[in-house]
Amino acid sequence: MVSGIRILIIGGLATGPKAAARARRLNPDAEITIIEQGDFVSYSSCGIPYYIGGQIPNFEDLVNTPVGITRNPAYFDAVKGIKVLLNTKAVKIDREQKKVYTVRVDSGEETALPYDKLVIATGSRPRRLPFEGMKLKNVSTVWTLDDARKIREQLINGNVKKVVIIGAGLIGLETAEAIRQARNIPNKPPEVTVLEALPHIAPAILDPEISDLVRKRLKEHHISIHTNTIVRELEGDENGKVRQVITDQGNYPADLVLVTVGATPNVALAEDAGLKIGITGAIAVNEYLQTSDPDIYAGGDCVENINLITGKPAYYQNGAVANRHGRVIGTNLAGGKDIFPGVLGTTVFKIFDHTVGRTGLTERQAREEGFEVITSIVGGSDHAHFYPDARPLVIKLIADRATRRLLGAQLVGTGNVDKRLDTIAVALSTAATVDQIANFDLAYAPPYNAAMDVLHHAANTLRNKLDGWARSIGPQEASSMLQKQDDIILVDVRTSREFEKNPPPFNNVAFIPLGKLRAMSDQLPKDKELLIYCQVSQRAWEAQRILQEKGFEKVRFIEGGLLAWPY
């Protein structure tokens, strides 16, 4: 610990305040200053969509501590012994003189602040569409607290009936959901249309099979989704207010347009100072989160991380990661040697009554990295079926055929998704194989789990496929086959009650309950493709084995069953 060390931190959202607080706890004698160009410090930007929709009713909740104390310069001074300078923009880093030149946003006053150790936590900035229409009234990004307040005011006071969201990534989908559930507005929630240039929603974090299930839920809640749609122009009226969004697929009327097309790291300050920029376009740091200058640390959305699966640099924006960065940096500022090992890209978000999660590599990413990919999609319940209120979820696992190592997972459902997601994230951190995951000693009691968790079933399905027992087909491939071939026979092995309550979404269906399949298998042709399904695919897998034993060669089961069928 260095007595009297001067620590200067650029950026006051997540990494910066966390680093400052950690350094203060370990070094009571340090002189710690945070400079932040905005009006607020240490606020929860992840809550912005829900403030816009009114689910978080009070703006102050985003900037307060859990006990209701506002995080402002006075709070940091009194509680942390940390000086915070708001509305202060860093414009230059002089590494030789160890000074940061700043300018007051409100007055233009210039100052040079000395440092012994510097932290760059400048975050990222939203991408903007290259149109003049971005300057129209009622066109906004969803990025800052100022954005949030303006959008909320427009929903309350602006007679907004149609909202168009450009970009179906995480922020866009969360905002769409929040607006459709908008509270405390004079009229009913606006119509919401989401436009996405790529073939499926959440393309950076989900594979098509899980993305399509999310899309299905959004449509059920009257959110209009248009993929493969390129925005050409934003058109305004005679008063300079946005009127419609013009795309290559048609025009969409809008009273409010929200642009959520991703973000890029804020690296200009670091780049001008001669610090190394990584291959992702973000600041390069080592395991201690030091930049190419050992007296300058960096963390949060402005840096690149190491992907724990590939071992390669990756750019990943996440508030939880930014906070963990801050703790590591704070420890090292106080003389420690803490390291940040890397990230898995773990993400979770809410879509109405469904939870969506992912961690590790998507199937597309795994293939691009050269892995010999094998996947499984399994449906199930989050606790024992005989205990009340069991809720469904779907899991997709991605593994490497050669090593049987798990590479990634995606989940969706009304059931307890986050519990399984966190378990899988730990498994990925330890390079676990599907064989190990199938034998995880997970907690069991009927209110909390089934004797074999749905995660066990997903891992065992992969094992059965790897060992040549299971013959399956994913829902997307099955849908494509059904569109191209009309001689495929679908075999429904559910009970009569299930069949009547939930008729199949297919044509050319042979209904044979599993208990009658052995006796009635001779009614099925052996020269045609047979695709078997049930509700979650467990009985369908058993039916595939029965028919295979009876000499059927062209037989597969549809993974995930009807629960995972989004079409």
Q: Which candidate, 178, 16, 131, 128, places its Cα nearest to that of 82?
A: 16
| Terminal Cα-to-Cα distance of the chain (whole angstroms) | 61
CA–CA separation, 174 and 544 (whole Å) = 40
Contact of 205 with 172, CB cutoff 8 Å: no
Task: Decide: 400 and 375 in contact? Cβ < 8 Å.
Answer: no
Task: Give the integer Cα–Cα distance in Å for 79 and 21.
Answer: 10
Q: What are 398's two structure tokens? A: 């991605």
Q: Which residues are catalytic?
A: 46
How far apart are the C-alpha atoms of 510 and 530, rounded to whole Å? 10
Q: Are 103 and 269 in contact (CB under 8 A)?
A: no
d(CA 240, CA 253): 15
Q: Give the strand pairing for 99-104 and 110-114.
A: antiparallel
Burial class for 253, CB neighbours closer than 10 Å (0-12, 13-18, 19+): middle
**List of residues 6+ apart from 401 with CB closer than 8 A:** 371, 372, 373, 374, 466
Around 445, how many Cα atoms within 13 Å sit in the side-chain half-sphere?
Answer: 1
What DSSP designation does 215 have?
H
Secondary structure (H, E, C), 421-453: HHHHHHHHHCCCEHHHHCCCCCCCCCCCCCCCC
SS (H, E, C) 303-348: ECEEECCCCCEECCCCHHHHHHHHHHHHHHHCCCCCCCCCECCCEE
H helix and E strand count, the chain: 16, 30
